[in-house]
Structure 1
Amino acid sequence: MAQNKTQPHAASVEDFINAVEHPVRQADARTLLDMMTRISGHDAVMWGPSIIGFGRYDYVYDSGHSGSSMRTGFSPRKAHQVIYIMPGYTNFDPILDRLGKYKKGKSCLYINKLADVDLSVLEELVRAGLADMAEKYPEPS
């Protein structure tokens, strides 16, 4: 069975954020790092070359494919911040309606800059995503 391409590794989250060239994207990454660390209760870990993840869960699909992924995370990309709200099957529209300016993928948000959104609503969304994850994939005690 093929392994997921995006795996956690020991690269420095701080070094990664320091290397973000766009000053607003870098500052926003620091804000997200603080926010997600506080909300998730997990330390940040690099997943692949460009994703900062928090927490971990293991899954097995009906097909038998299994793997691990982060519970939530973000990536400061050139065009926008990508915020991963897992697992992507819950309707968060009532929260998203209050968020501000964003685009949505299956399990992620694309935000140009944090100034475009209400940070308290973003925190609510991250909390809701983590609560959703905890129902489907409880954290070990």
Structure 2
Amino acid sequence: MYEVKTKETDSSVIEFIESVDNLKKREDAYKLLDIFTEESGFEAKMWGASIIGFGSYHYVYKTGHEGDAPLVGYSPRKAKISLYFATGDTEREELLKQFGKHTSGKACVYINKVDDIDIGVLKKLISQSISFLRKTYPER
């Protein structure tokens, strides 16, 4: 049976950020911590070994697979900073057009540094993602 690897942990978010080798990436991780905390209204929690998540929701797919995930989050990875927002909402794609320098994967948005993006649009992406996931997966 499949087991979800990315679960909320009791690990310290600050200790994780302090472990980021690249000084600029560490500074950006702290900037993002402030922005995500303020905009989401949730305390930062570690999810797995390297994702800083805010809030959580319980999902159930049509296949029956289910689990918990952060509503939004980010990870200061070696190559780029990964930002986690809800997928499947057309508003996300519209906001990303105004976001600044980034690339997108299926679930992640990748940036090199915070200076490359529009902070106002980042805040809208955070709010939009939380709103979309709350509608899609209402609390039981």
Classify the TM-score, shorter chain.
over 0.9
Q: Which runs of 5+ in 2 are unaligned?
A: none
Q: Distance in 1 between matches of 2:51 and 2:57?
A: 16
**Secondary structure in 2 matching 1:36:** helix
Q: Distance in 1 between matches of 2:138 and 2:64?
A: 20
Q: Which residue of 1 aligns with 2:77?
A: 77
| In structure 2, distance between residues paired with 1:137 and 1:10 | 24
Q: List per-residue Cα deviations over 1:47-88 (Å, max 9, x = no partner).
A: 1110000111111112211111111100000111100002x1
Instruction: Report the CA distance between 1:2 and its aligned residue.
Output: 2.1
Partner Cα distance (1:36, 1:64) in 2: 31
Do the aligned residues in 1 keep the contact of 2:82 with 2:110 (CA within 8 Å)? Answer: yes
Looking at structure 1, the residues matched to 83 and 11 of structure 2 have their Cα atoms a distance apart, in angstroms, of 20
Please give the secondary structure, in 1, of the residue aligned with 2:78.
coil
For 1:7, what is the secondary structure of its paired residue?
A: coil
Aligned match of 2:132: 132
Query: Structure 1 residues 24 and 72 mapped into 2: Cα distance closer, same or farther (>3 Å)?
Result: same
3-state DSSP class of the match of 2:115? helix
SS of aligned partner of 1:110: strand
CA contact (8 A) 1:89 1:107 kept: no
Identity %: 42
Matches within 5 A, 1:1-141: 1-86=1-86, 88-91=87-90, 92-139=92-139
Mark the runs of 5 or more structure 1 residues left unpaired by the alignment.
Answer: none
Give, as a single letter, the amino acid of the residue that structure 2 aligns with 1:56: S
- What value does the CA root-mean-square deviation take over the aligned residues? 1.2
Inter-partner Cα distance in structure 1 for 2:67 and 2:134: 17
Equivalent AA in structure 1 for residue 97 of structure 2: D
Q: Distance between the aligned counterparts of 1:118 and 1:66, measured in 2?
A: 34
AA aligned to 1:28 is D
Shift of residue 138, structure 1, vs aligned partner = 2.9
**Residue 58 of structure 2 contacts residue 139 of structure 2 at CA under 8 Å; is this kept in 1?**
no
Offset, 1:139 = 4.5
In the superposition, the TM-score normalised over structure 2's length comes to 0.94
**TM-score, length-normalised on structure 1?**
0.93
